[in-house]
């Protein structure tokens, strides 16, 4: 082994995300926090393939300020394109990439590090690390990058699988996760809808390994998810699995991002608008709409007569996550895929941005008063950190669960209503919900709640706050482990 612990007085942590900005962002923020707040050395491992690296990932890992003790290490690329030639975007290609990369690369890369890692933090889809790190006697912690509601469901899934016949989406009643609010079958995440699918098999494989973790980090805070936290801590079901210690350490979100010249133009436009007057419309790093739905969205925004920023993206009639592996790349001119004359007609009221926008800078701006979002967990947390109420527009994965949680339990969002006979959200419904959030009485209520949670999130991360202290307890244990070596 190449480890030489005497070379460093600082504990060394390895952080390993799976591909995709929804996974990379929160684990990268944890890595930075360990270095800047707790004086650790961190090696941040990045799974790569022969395909070009998405521009958004490069901007985050290479062009933002990175502390000197945080080292970004690209794992040697794996060549899996032949295996994925006919596989649609989703969990399966992600898991195939990770499986091949970790099987070939993780052990030798860990052994080449100059100092022995005190622990490794992985996200949910890197559980191959349990066996590899077990052989090297490195404790493995899981970072669950989605909601605590989904984590409770995921820990319950092996039992649900064992006790249920048929497909979960055909169950006559909602799924009752012990100690939690029932989950409607139509809100279940995509990966568990068809149990014989590869998507389900991969998801089941990874969540069934969660009990192997030395601990589970969650990117949230207790005031935001009190019911599932209490269930995980006190419900007999979770105590008997047994569930590893759960450490809420969030909300960990991007605090900064590179600002380009075109980004400056967006912020200059925002500077001219009234406080809380602009609706920000963005569907995450990978979300795409069908041509018909994008047309309805555009007309709904136009008819609402409310100021907006729309992040335009080439429509995809085959997949709602058509941009997942190309986040931040250049795309076609929005005028080529938005309704004819839309950009011209809404000039001054709306601003159309091509493909990617500085989301943190926009959400933190005083003029931003609402966020029409796909409800990915990173975007949800960024909205809450800046006190911005939401319109839910879930597209894939667990986003329908998030949308229901935000609207019905947390009270910070409005859901659009889709008629049973219609495959898209119509322009009239979009206009109605936009007006409601931006100027209606309901909008005032959820805006007040969002600003309360903004203050709660800030307190949680401080020293003495619930998340700050939760991470500090793990850090203390890691430092003790390092000092006894």
| Separation in Å, CA 186 to CA 151, 283, 372, 407 | 18, 20, 21, 15
Catalytic choice (12, 38, 69, 123): 123
Task: From 331, 221, 339, select the one nearest 285 (Cα to Cα).
Answer: 331
Gap between the Cα atoms of 137 and 130, Å rounded: 10
Q: Which three-class secondary structure state does DSSP give residue 13?
A: strand
Question: Is 325 in contact with 353 (CB distance < 8 Å)?
Answer: no
Spot the catalytic one: 23, 206, 307, 365.
23
Sequence-ordered list of residues with C-beta below 8 angstroms from that of 368, at least 6 positions apart, any chain: 270, 276, 278, 280, 362, 386, 388
Q: DSSP per residue over 240-301, as a string?
A: HTTPPPEEE------------HHHHHHHHHHHTSPTT-EEEEE-TTT----HHHHHHHHHHH
Q: How far is CA 71 from the centre of its chain?
A: 22
Residue 123 annotated among the catalytic residues of the structure: yes
> Helices marked H in 405-462 — which ranges?
427-439, 441-461
Q: How far apart are the C-alpha atoms of 5 and 12, rounded to whole Å? A: 9
| CA–CA separation, 485 and 265 (whole Å) | 53
Let me know if 71 is a catalytic residue. Answer: no
DSSP-derived letter for residue 144 is E
Q: 240 exposed, middle or buried (CB, 10 Å; 0-12, 13-18, 19+)? A: exposed
- Give me the sign of the Cα torsion angle 340, 89, 206, 199: positive
- What amino acid positions are annotated as catalytic residues? 23, 123
């Amino acid at each position: 082994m190449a480890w030489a612990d005497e070379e460093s007085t600082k504990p060394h942590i390895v952080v390993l995300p799976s591909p995709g900005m929804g996974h990379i962002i929160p684990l990268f923020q944890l890595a930075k926090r360990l270095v800047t707040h707790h004086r650790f050395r961190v090696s941040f491992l990045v799974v790569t393939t022969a395909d070009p690296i998405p521009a958004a990932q490069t901007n985050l890992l290479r062009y933002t300020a990175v502390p000197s003790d945080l080292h970004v290490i690209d794992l040697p690329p794996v060549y899996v394109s032949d295996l994925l030639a006919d596989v649609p975007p989703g969990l399966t290609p992600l898991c195939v990439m990770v499986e091949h990369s970790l099987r070939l690369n993780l052990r030798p890369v860990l052994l080449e590090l100059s100092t022995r890692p005190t622990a490794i933090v992985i996200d949910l889809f890197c559980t191959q690390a349990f066996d590899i790190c077990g052989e090297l006697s490195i404790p493995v912690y899981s970072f669950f990058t989605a909601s605590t509601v989904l984590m409770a469901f995921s820990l319950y899934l092996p039992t649900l699988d064992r006790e249920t016949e048929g497909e979960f989406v055909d169950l006559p009643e909602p799924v009752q996760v012990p100690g939690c609010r029932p989950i409607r079958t139509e809100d279940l995440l995509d990966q568990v809808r068809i149990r014989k699918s590869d998507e389900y098999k991969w998801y089941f494989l990874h969540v069934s390994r969660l009990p192997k973790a030395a601990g589970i980090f969650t990117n949230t805070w207790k005031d935001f998810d009190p019911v599932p936290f209490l269930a995980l801590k006190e419900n007999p079901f979770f105590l008997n699995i047994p569930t590893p210690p759960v450490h809420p350490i969030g909300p960990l979100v991007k605090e900064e991002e590179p600002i380009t010249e075109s980004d400056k133009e967006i912020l200059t436009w925002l500077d001219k608008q009234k406080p809380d007057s602009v609706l920000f419309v963005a569907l995450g790093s990978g979300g795409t709409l069908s041509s018909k739905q994008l047309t309805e969205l555009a007309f709904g925004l136009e008819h609402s007569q409310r100021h907006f920023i729309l992040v335009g993206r080439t429509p995809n009639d085959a997949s709602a996550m058509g941009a997942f592996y190309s986040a931040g790349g250049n795309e076609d001119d929005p005028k080529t895929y938005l309704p004819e004359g839309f950009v011209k007609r809404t000039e001054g009221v709306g601003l159309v941005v091509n493909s990617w926008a500085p989301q943190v800078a926009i959400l933190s701006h005083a003029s931003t008063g609402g966020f029409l979002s796909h409800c990915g967990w990173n975007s949800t947390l960024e909205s809450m950190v800046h006190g911005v109420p939401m319109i839910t527009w879930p597209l894939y994965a667990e986003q329908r669960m998030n949308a229901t949680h935000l609207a019905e339990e947390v009270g910070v969002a409005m859901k659009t209503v889709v008629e049973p006979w219609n495959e898209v959200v119509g322009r009239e419904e979009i206009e109605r919900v936009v007006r409601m959030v931006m100027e209606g009485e309901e909008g005032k209520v959820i805006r007040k709640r969002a600003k309360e949670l903004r203050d709660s999130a800030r307190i949680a991360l401080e020293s003495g706050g619930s998340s700050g202290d939760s991470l500090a307890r793990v850090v203390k244990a890691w430092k003790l482990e390092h000092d006894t070596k």
